[in-house]
Chain A
Amino acid sequence: DAGVIQSPRHEVTEMGQEVTLRCKPISGHNSLFWYRQTMMRGLELLIYFNNNVPIDDSGMPEDRFSAKMPNASFSTLKIQPSEPRDSAVYFCASSRADRGGEKLFFGSGTQLSVL
């Protein structure tokens, strides 16, 4: 299995531009998570989907952030317009419910720099 695939690996953009981060979960996994990692705030759960349906988006910082999962094999996290404080590493993770708990498989992350 190829694991969770994220693209791009690095993204540098200017303030005000739209940014789209992409994630392909592991085949057969029915849950998908977007996390953001910064030095100041650590790992924060932004949103997660179960069977392509958003379950909890309470971690999404503001309306500039949106996430979609049009099918079981693809998800996007969009920031529009982007701001310098959005600079972080964004991780996507997927899982298959395991006796009621979750074993997450993480992608390698997208390093986002907003100038």
Chain B
Amino acid sequence: AQSVTQPDIHITVSEGASLELRCNYSYGATPYLFWYVQSPGQGLQLLLKYFSGDTLVQGIKGFEAEFKRSQSSFNLRKPSVHWSDAAEYFCAVGAGTGRRALTFGSGTRLQVQP
């Protein structure tokens, strides 16, 4: 069965600093990988996704992620964090027929200091 590990429960960065959120997955075949963001009291919004091809994918709000098969990782990065980026971030892997069933990691809560 597939699984996703986000080792950092909570991260605090200063506004303007760079950010990297870690994600490791376990899946027997080529995974479909996603990053979602959740603001307080809201549903999840897709930041970016990887299906195939270029291993560096660009998303919304200036985020990018790099798929590294050898490390089973799909880390999320942003060169300069804004205060509005404070939220919870979820990594997910799509598995099963058509990769429809997403398994989510436990999430990383990002706090941004002024």
Number of interface residues of B (CB under 8 A): 24
User: Considering the chains assembled together, what is the distance between the CA atoms of A42 and B36 in angstroms?
Assistant: 13
Would you call B43 and A107 a contact (CB within 8 A)?
yes
Q: Which residue of B lies closest to A95 (CB)?
A: B100
> How would residues 85 to 112 of chain A score, 1 for a CB under 8 Å from any chain B CB and 0 otherwise?
0000001010101011111111111000
A101 touching B45 in the complex, CB below 8 Å, given contacts A31-B100, A43-B104: no
Stretch at the interface among B10-18, B21-29, B69-77, B89-97: B89-97
Would you call A100 and B98 a contact (CB within 8 A)?
yes
User: Considering the chains assembled together, what is the distance between the CA atoms of A17 and B98 in angstroms?
Assistant: 37
A101 touching B90 in the complex, CB below 8 Å, given contacts A50-B100, A91-B44, A108-B42: no
Is A12 engaged at the interface, CB distance under 8 Å to the other chain?
no
Would you call B43 and A101 a contact (CB within 8 A)?
no
Q: Which residue of B lies closest to A106 (CB)?
A: B43
A103 touching B46 in the complex, CB below 8 Å, given contacts A42-B105, A42-B107, A43-B90: yes
Is A14 engaged at the interface, CB distance under 8 Å to the other chain?
no
Q: Which residue of B45, B100, B104 contacts A42 across the interface (Cβ within 8 Å)? A: B104
User: Considering the chains assembled together, what is the distance between the CA atoms of A91 and B12 in angstroms?
Assistant: 27
User: Considering the chains assembled together, what is the distance between the CA atoms of A71 and B52 in angstroms?
Assistant: 33
Is B111 engaged at the interface, CB distance under 8 Å to the other chain?
no
